Amino acid sequence: MAKDFSLIAPELVLTVGALLVLMLAAFAGDKASRVGNWLAVATLVAASVAICAFVGEGGTAFSGTYQADAFSNFSKYLIYGASAVSVLAAPRFFERSGPMRAEYAALVLLATVGMSIMVSATDLVSLYIGLELNSLAAYVLASFMRSDDRSTEAGLKYFVLGALASGILLYGMSLLYGFAGTTDFVGIATAFEGETNAGLLFGLVFVIAGLCFKVSAVPFHMWTPDVYEGAPTPVTAFFASAPKVAGMALLTRVVIEALGPGKFDWQQILIFIALASTILGAVAAVRQTNIKRLLAYSSINNVGFALIGLAAGNEAGVAAVLTYMVVYVITTLGSFLCVLQMRDKDGNYVEDIKSLAGLSKTRPALAAAFGIFMFSLAGIPPLFGFWPKLLVFNAAVSAGLMPLAVIGVLSSVIGAFYYINIVKIIYFDAPESEFAKHDNWIEKGLIAVSAAAMTFVGYLAIPALAASSGAAAQALF
């Protein structure tokens, strides 16, 4: 029992931190929101330290329902980092419309607890507990600005569609349990090693469908543009980063560990979803006029590229997915931090892409960062965003999926159009009204670090990133 609790030390730290932030909010009110934010960031740092101090080599806990290994540790570090950035970026945005609600940091921590359980789940029950814990906090975050109709609408849409996806997932889980006789991933894999029947196949399809909703892959993406646009920008940045990592990691563990012997069946599904996501994400973003909706379709597009690596179904593919998610999270967070700088002279936040016109003349540093992030999301060398795309395409080719890689490359070319169009607007269009200046050193520092990581500096990290992602992928095989 002591070993079990040592393995879940990160989740225990996050839970205690969330409760402390909630108590602070209850007794001190919204005036303690900044203290709560820093307490949340300290909690996320402490949870990261707990992985090193207590998890160590890892192992299974609670009768095999929880697995601590290199794969889960890699994912948790990335999730905790993205969550911390989402907390740090929030105060200035919310204080525009009044005192920031102190509950924001607590909700992020509770969602992070759920994500942390998701990436370590090795049983359908623990999988569902982690996913729902994350989702319940996310529904509230989406509608966090109660006085904003768009935020309320985003929360309602997310809740309704999330409930539908949860029902689909539960139905698939019940089929897998009914025909495999167990909820354990190992037992389900054993069932797939025998003669696969229709019940197991239907369970496989429904489970993958429910999990694809979490990563907003086509055709389960319908909530993404509306929720990204309507939710507060710091919340959108959170949705586009940490939950994406958790969802992709969970999907990866499920298809490799639980559904591994049924590779031929789930590989066909993932190939279709990957192609549909890359193509729709590229095409639908072209006509967008709202920067947050454009980044929503960009996230759909990027999830498709990550799924190309996962469709390979081997260690190289999983390692490529993990590397892709690292670069994607950094670039996406940097992009949303730039969006947070889009304020008119009265301090009101603007989201129209046309408002970026002439930004290179009025805010050259911000324009340079925006350009770096857009080119990196497009995968244009020599920026670091090119590297993970090369990895996923190589993994697909090595697995004999040449047509998938070719179509992925072509859709990447289509997607580059709308990224380059933003750079064109920033650098070549006539200037619009100048954005308001700001002196928030936290946001400036985060943007600078993210932008630097997407330049040649990122290539210096390739050996360390390759070693850590390779070890994480090996833990699943």
Least confident of 92-96, 212-216, 276-280, 466-470: 92-96
Please, where are the H alpha helices in 51-123?
Answer: 70-88, 91-94, 103-120
Domain with 423 in it = 2-474
Give the pair of three-digit tokens for residue 99: 């005192």
Burial class (CB in 10 A: 0-12, 13-18, 19+), 432: middle
Backbone angles phi, psi at 237, to 5 degrees: -60, -40
Least confident of 25-29, 43-47, 298-302, 314-318: 25-29
Query: Which positions ≥6 away from 210 have C-beta within 8 Å?
Result: 165, 166, 168, 169, 170, 172
Rounded to an integer, what distance in angstroms lies between the CA atom of residue 96 and that of residue 232? 12
Amino acid 177: pLDDT: 93
Please state the domain count of the chain. Answer: 1
pLDDT higher for 43 or 364? 43
Place of tokens 């969550």: 83
| CA-based nearest residue to 241, from 79, 93, 371 | 79
The amino acid sitting at 444 is: K
Amino acid 273: pLDDT: 94
| CA-based nearest residue to 273, from 361, 205, 179 | 205
- For residue range 57-69, list pLDDT tens digits in order: 778 888 888 989 8
Quick one: pLDDT band at residue 414, thresholds 50, 70, 90? Answer: confident
Sign, CA dihedral 217-223-228-231, equals negative
What's the mean pLDDT when you consider all of the chain?
89
- For residue range 208-240, list pLDDT tens digits in order: 999 999 899 988 888 889 999 888 889 999 999
Share of the chain above pLDDT 70, in %: 98
Residue 151 has pLDDT above 90, yes or no: no
Question: What is residue 66's three-state secondary structure?
Answer: strand
Place of tokens 């498709």: 304
Quick one: pLDDT band at residue 149, thresholds 50, 70, 90? Answer: confident
The answer to whether 206 touches 216, Cβ cutoff 8 Å, is no
Amino acid 97: pLDDT: 63
- Please state the rounded mean pLDDT for residues 126-132: 93
The pTM of the full predicted model, rounded to 2 decimals, is 0.94
- For residue range 73-112, list pLDDT tens digits in order: 999 999 999 999 999 988 888 877 666 788 889 999 999 9
Residue 53 has pLDDT above 90, yes or no: no
- For residue range 173-200, list pLDDT tens digits in order: 999 999 988 999 999 999 888 777 888 8
- Please state the rounded mean pLDDT for residues 457-471: 92
Backbone angles phi, psi at 67, to 5 degrees: -125, 120
Amino acid 145: pLDDT: 82
Give the pair of three-digit tokens for residue 15: 């839970």
Residue 456 has pLDDT above 80, yes or no: yes
Amino acid 99: pLDDT: 62
Amino acid 15: pLDDT: 94
Rounded to an integer, what distance in angstroms lies between the CA atom of residue 233 and that of residue 339? 8
Place of tokens 């379709």: 297
- For residue range 360-396, list pLDDT tens digits in order: 888 888 889 999 999 999 888 889 999 999 999 999 9
- For residue range 288-314, list pLDDT tens digits in order: 888 999 999 999 999 999 999 999 989
What is the number of other CB atoms lying within 10 angstroms of the CB of residue 459?
14
Place of tokens 């996501």: 277
pLDDT higher for 45 or 435? 45
